[in-house]
């Protein structure tokens, strides 16, 4: 597909149920959601967990620097980084229909810098090295079978755009074998001691957090930060103290399961 050939991209559609508006891409798979009467709330559990990277930041540093988002979804993370954290936010999204739907139906902040482009190409050709504090990666096509960009070159581009102390959160969705391959690639690029994951959601989403020269704080510090996140962003529905119970460091490749 050329950079400006969008004819083969799936149609962005909407559905609504029990006060929640959902984004779809030509299938039943949910690509994002927003509670209509409380658009600030981060509705989907895996999207909440993508914000667990805040735990690695000193409380006084939360909201500093720039945010980058690869894959717009229903703009929940964009609304949070731009409105709650007040961080200058750039979003790279391949499908212009998704951008239009988010502007009309999902409260996409008008001030957010939205680039319609292939995320991998944008990282290679336009991203400024070491310019981003928080990077959120959620790149799935309409079939939601595996990440669209998931090789070591891509993750190297993600690491390169992070400043020292910067953090990447990635949504990984698919079979266990796919997850193990993906997290191993992330660890190969970032270093095994710079990679953590949260327990899978009941839908099967596993969030991986990777850092560029970050340190895991002591448990008491993490507890304090989690409490601060919940108090500061209570209206956004972030269960930060629950995240602590599901965090685990990367333990290396797992042995294959017997048939």
pLDDT tens for residues 100-154?
999 999 999 999 999 999 999 999 999 999 999 999 999 875 454 556 788 999 9
Q: What is the model's pLDDT at position 149?
A: 86
Q: What is the model's pLDDT at position 146?
A: 53
The DSSP-derived string for 174-202 is: S-HHHHHHHHHHHHHHH-GGGEEEEPPPT
Q: What are phi and psi of 27, to 5 degrees?
A: -155, 180
Other CB atoms within 10 A of residue 219 CB: 9
pTM beyond 0.85: the answer is: yes
Q: What is the model's pLDDT at position 135?
A: 98
Homologous superfamily of 45-249 in CATH? Vaccinia Virus protein VP39 (3.40.50.150)
Q: What is the model's pLDDT at position 141?
A: 54
Q: What is the model's pLDDT at position 163?
A: 98
The DSSP-derived string for the chain is: --TT--TTSPPEEEEEETTEEEEEESSSSEEEEEETT-TTS--SHHHHHHGGGGGGS-GGGTT-S-EEEES-TTSHHHHIIIIIS---EEEEES-HHHHHHHHHHS---TTSEEEES-HHHHHHHTPPTT-EEEEEE----TT-SS-SS-SHHHHHHHHHHEEEEEEEEEEEES-HHHHHHHHHHHHHHH-GGGEEEEPPPTTSEEEEEEESS--PPPHHHHHHHHHHHHHHTGGGT--HHHHHHHEEE---PPPPPP-
Give just the sign of the alpha carbon dihedral 61, 237, 38, 26: positive
- Inter-residue contact 74 to 80 (CB < 8 Å): no
Q: What is the model's pLDDT at position 1?
A: 38
Q: What is the model's pLDDT at position 147?
A: 66
Q: Which residues in the chain land under pLDDT 70?
A: 1-7, 141-147, 174-177, 254-259
Using alpha carbons only, what angle is made at residue 182 by residues 49 and 254, rounded to the nearest 5 degrees?
100
Q: How far apart are CA 108 and CA 93, in angstroms?
A: 13
């Amino acid at each position: 597909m050329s950079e400006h050939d969008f004819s083969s991209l799936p149609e962005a559609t909407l559905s609504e149920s029990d006060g929640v508006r959902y984004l779809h891409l030509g299938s039943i798979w949910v690509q994002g959601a927003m509670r209509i009467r409380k658009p600030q709330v981060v509705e989907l559990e895996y999207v909440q967990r993508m914000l667990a990277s805040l735990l690695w930041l000193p409380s006084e540093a939360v909201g500093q620097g720039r945010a980058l988002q690869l894959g717009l979804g229903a703009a929940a993370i964009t609304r949070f980084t731009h409105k709650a954290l007040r961080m200058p936010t750039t979003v790279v999204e391949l499908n212009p229909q998704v951008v239009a739907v988010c502007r009309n139906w999902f409260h996409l902040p008008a001030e957010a810098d939205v680039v319609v482009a292939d995320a991998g190409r944008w990282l290679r050709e336009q991203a400024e090295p070491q310019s981003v504090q928080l990077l959120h990666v959620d790149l799935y096509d309409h079939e939601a079978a595996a990440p669209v960009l998931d090789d070591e070159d891509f993750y190297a581009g993600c690491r390169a755009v992070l400043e020292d102390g910067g953090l990447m959160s990635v949504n990984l969705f698919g079979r266990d074998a796919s997850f193990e391959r993906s997290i191993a690639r992330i660890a190969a690029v970032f270093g095994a001691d710079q990679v953590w994951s949260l327990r899978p959601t009941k839908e099967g989403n596993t969030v991986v957090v990777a850092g560029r020269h970050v340190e895991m704080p002591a448990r008491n510090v993490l507890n304090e930060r989690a409490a601060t996140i919940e108090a500061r962003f209570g209206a956004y529905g972030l269960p930060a103290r629950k995240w602590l119970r599901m965090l685990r460091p990367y333990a290396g490749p797992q042995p294959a399961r017997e048939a």
